[in-house]
Amino acid sequence: MIGLGTIINTAGILAGGAVGRLFGSRFNSKIQDALNGACGVSVLFIGIAGAMEGMLKIQDGALSSGQSMLVVLSLALGALIGEWINIEGLFERFGRWLKVKTGNARDKKFVDAFVTSSLTVCIGAMAIVGSIQDGIYGDYSVLVTKAILDLIIVLVMTCSLGIGCIFSAIPVAVFEGLLTVLARFLRPVMTEAALANLSLVGSILIFCVGLNLLWEKKVRVANLLPSVVLAVAAVFLPIE
């Protein structure tokens, strides 16, 4: 059944959020702060691992780095586009609307929890590759694996940040659902090189999410999302 992967991934996020909500409410502020720190460090290293995989390689027995220009240009131009569109503001407005409509108007952390968790579980190659495979072949194995990872991530985030994390299931369902429907059109674009660029820049954005979890919000990560599109587009530029 095409689209089953998106359903499973969405269900995994809802399950993780439900369990996190059940146990998180029983933890005092000290434990919640500790969980928030643990979650932040985990997200940082997930981002570092993905970024280093894309930038470092062994050549002639020595470790060398590359893709620096891609990272700088993608992030800089992506930030300009994102700030102009104000993607972060759109996320926050939707979060505030959800906050009221779901009866959580008094939850001061709801919007930050929603935006942070949404960015963590939406950004990355697994969502795109898994959705395309599901849409073309009906193979949802990648999204099932992602569902398990997201369940754990959202569970911990909900314990530390609150109920807003559960609603990250909405952007994931919309994003992966659209990719699944459009899979046949996107497949020629998502070459191996394009996916490598996407994974690299996406991992850097995940690292930025970790920074925001550990310290007061420093980076408007949602406004950097266009950089992922630019990283993919860079593969098709006529540059030798």
The DSSP line for 92-107 is HHHHHHHHHHTT-TT-
- pLDDT for the residue numbered 161: 82
CB-based contact 128:165 (threshold 8 Å): no
Burial of 72 (0-12, 13-18, 19+ CB in 10 A): exposed
Which letter does DSSP use for residue 58 in this model? E
- pLDDT for the residue numbered 240: 47
Q: What is the pTM of this model?
A: 0.77
46-92: pLDDT as tens digits: 788 878 877 777 666 666 667 778 888 888 999 999 999 888 888 88
CA pair distance 82, 227, nearest whole angstrom: 8
CA pair distance 136, 15, nearest whole angstrom: 27
65: CB partners within 8 A, 6+ apart = 55, 56, 57
Start-to-end C-alpha separation, the chain: 42
CA pair distance 187, 202, nearest whole angstrom: 19
Residue spans of beta strands (DSSP E) within the chain: 56-59, 62-65
Give 15's pLDDT tier (boundaries 50, 70, 90).
very high
200-235: pLDDT as tens digits: 888 888 888 888 877 776 778 888 888 888 888 888
Q: Hey, is 123 helix, strand or coil?
A: coil
CB-based contact 90:159 (threshold 8 Å): no
Looking up tokens 């108007």, which residue turns up?
Answer: 105
